[in-house]
Amino acid sequence: MRFFRKILPVFLLLTSGFIFAQDPPQPYGALPSKRQLAWHQVDVYGLVHFTPTTFENKEWGYGDANPSIFNPKEFDADKIVAALKAGGLKGLVLVAKHHDGFALWPTKTAAYNISQSPFRDGKGDMVKEFEQACRKAGLKFGVYCSPWDRNNPVYGTHEYVKIYRKQLTELYTNYGELFMSWHDGANGGDGYYGGERATRKIDRSTYYGWDTTWAITRKLQPMANLFSDIGWDVRWVGNESGFAGETSWATFTPVPAKGMNAAIPGNLDHEVNPFGTRGGKNWVPAECDVPLRPGWFYHPEQKGKTKTPEQLFALYLKSVGRGAALDLGIAPDTRGLLDDEDVKALEGFGKLVDESFKNNLAQASTLRVSNKRSKSYKGQFLIDRSMDSYWATEDTVKTALVNLTWTADQTFDLIKMSEYIPLGQRIDSVEVEAMINGNWTKVASATSVGACRIIYLNEPVKTAQLRIRIAAPVCITMSELGVYKKASL
């Protein structure tokens, strides 16, 4: 009897620990879908603009360019994709049709397409060449098909909406799995429209019948994230400068924009709420789009104005480092290649990111957490190089410390964190302290974390002890913690 009295508490402890280990934290708030989780892993990708507009040296084609001018004699999709890969980009979204209406594939829906140009003797398919180059290089592939068509004679009528849906169907059917379907917010206005040269206005919230149109996307490309001003999966951050807000929530409650149909759930009024909604109803992370050069299309007079690797790195910290994605505008020239200075800038940017985040100093530290849910959610999962494992606190613990101790001083200026977002965006605030001259000194703080948060310190810190205080309205879940020193080119 005494034996059972002694062994029973141990047995209960072991079994309760086992049961508790199988009990993960409850999800909190809006959650990302499977396709959104995959999108977060892409984090930096390119948006390639290359149509007759390039040969006109314009930003927006009017729709009246003769297809004969589109003849990039040195075009090489493999070389362009290789430059993107060297830059650390993980995906490419091709502008398969811009506002000028010229399709880069031999569509059956409209005569104004690549088959009418001299490219590949009228037998070319640039969408296919880019898609194949991406697959070969291991990059994700997506398409941009402008809803606005300044060439199509029936734009503004219901007949055009049928044509547009057929164009999307062609793109969704013939080019493999897509990670994005990108839809520009510019819709309706002056154009060529088959030679009429008129202004046609539409209600962009109702004209395209988005519920029906995007049902095609969901059916044919279930892993394609929809980007649009009135889309659900990925939202525009509200500027074309390439940065998100210091506080940036992936959750979002859409607000009907002035003059638009309130019944459309994705109407995003960026002036009201450009950087997300704490506790928002939907998971709609932000994309930060910015061209590598001043323009989205190539312009010879902009030579020497390509963003430097340092400028791109600064944008990386303010986009990816704030839980968003960086969508970098790429503009081939009239040869069908990237300018040498663009290639060098991308290569330098890729090297700078790779070298800066190659050595995680936290992995050489003794890491302790003030609370853990169980051994299945221990602090060591923060530095195990896996986004699938995570540290978690007990349900009642909403504030916790992560302590890092080294045997000798370390110098760093970058701190990177990731929440385990399959369970939601939970963290409200982070405070970082370092032991300096025998005293704990605050060196940084942040609000939102989400998929990624990178804190760049104003000055490098030298210390052998670091602690991070984390607060949330519910128990904490985190999958990654890194401490780094920014590299120099």
The string of DSSP codes covering 285-336 is -EEEEEESSSSSS--GGGTT-SPPHHHHHHHHHHHGGGTSEEEEEE---TTS
Q: Calculate the dihedral angle through the C-alpha atoms of 26, 33, 252, 294, rounding to the nearest 10 degrees.
A: 140
pLDDT category, 13, cuts 50, 70, 90?
very low
Q: What per-residue confidence (pLDDT) applies to 273? A: 52
pLDDT category, 255, cuts 50, 70, 90?
low
Question: DSSP string of 136-184?
Answer: HHT-EEEEEE-S--SS-TTTTSHHHHHHHHHHHHHHHHHS---SEEE--
User: Is residue 436 over pLDDT 90?
Assistant: yes
For the chain, residues classed under CATH 3.20.20.80 are 34-356
Report the CATH fold assignment for 34-356: TIM Barrel (3.20.20)
Q: What per-residue confidence (pLDDT) applies to 271? A: 44
Query: What percent of the chain is modeled with pLDDT above 70?
Result: 91
pLDDT category, 396, cuts 50, 70, 90?
very high
Q: Which amino acid is at 143?
A: V
Report helix angle 126-137 to 77-86, nearest 10. 40
Average pLDDT score over residue span 326-338: 98
Give whole-number Cα distances, 343 to 58, 92, 256, 306, in Å: 22, 15, 41, 10
Least confident of 191-200, 263-272, 395-404: 263-272
pLDDT, tens only, 17-65? 444 445 999 999 999 999 999 999 999 999 999 999 999 999 999 999 9
User: Is residue 161 over pLDDT 60?
Assistant: yes
- Give the residue from 225, 236, 222 showing the smallest Cα distance to 186: 236
Average pLDDT score over residue span 348-370: 98
* Average model confidence (pLDDT) across the chain: 92
Query: Distance from first CA to last CA of the chain, Å, rounded?
Result: 73
- Give the residue from 230, 426, 403 showing the smallest Cα distance to 323: 426
User: Is residue 94 over pLDDT 80?
Assistant: yes
Q: Please state, in angstroms and rounded to a whole number, the distance separating the CA atoms of residues 232 and 283.
A: 8
Return the structure tokens found at 129.
Answer: 């060449």
Average pLDDT score over residue span 200-205: 90
| CATH no. for 361-484 | 2.60.120.260
User: Is residue 175 over pLDDT 60?
Assistant: yes
Q: What per-residue confidence (pLDDT) applies to 254? A: 75
Average pLDDT score over residue span 171-200: 95
User: Is residue 450 over pLDDT 60?
Assistant: yes
pLDDT category, 16, cuts 50, 70, 90?
very low
Q: What per-residue confidence (pLDDT) applies to 113? A: 98
Burial (CB count within 10 angstroms: exposed 0-12, middle 13-18, buried 19+), residue 191: buried
Q: What per-residue confidence (pLDDT) applies to 2? A: 41
For the chain, residues classed under CATH 2.60.120.260 are 361-484
**183 and 144 Cβ atoms separated by less than 8 Å:** yes
Q: Please state, in angstroms and rounded to a whole number, the distance separating the CA atoms of residues 145 and 171.
A: 9
As a residue count, the chain comes to 489
Q: Please state, in angstroms and rounded to a whole number, the distance separating the CA atoms of residues 313 and 348.
A: 10
Least confident of 87-96, 231-240, 271-280: 271-280
Q: Which amino acid is at 204?
A: R
Task: Give the angle subtended at the CA of 470 by the CAs of 284 and 245, to the nearest 5°.
Answer: 40
How does DSSP classify residue 112? -
More confident residue, 21 or 232: 232
Burial (CB count within 10 angstroms: exposed 0-12, middle 13-18, buried 19+), residue 71: middle
Least confident of 199-208, 283-292, 315-324: 199-208
Q: What per-residue confidence (pLDDT) applies to 274? A: 60
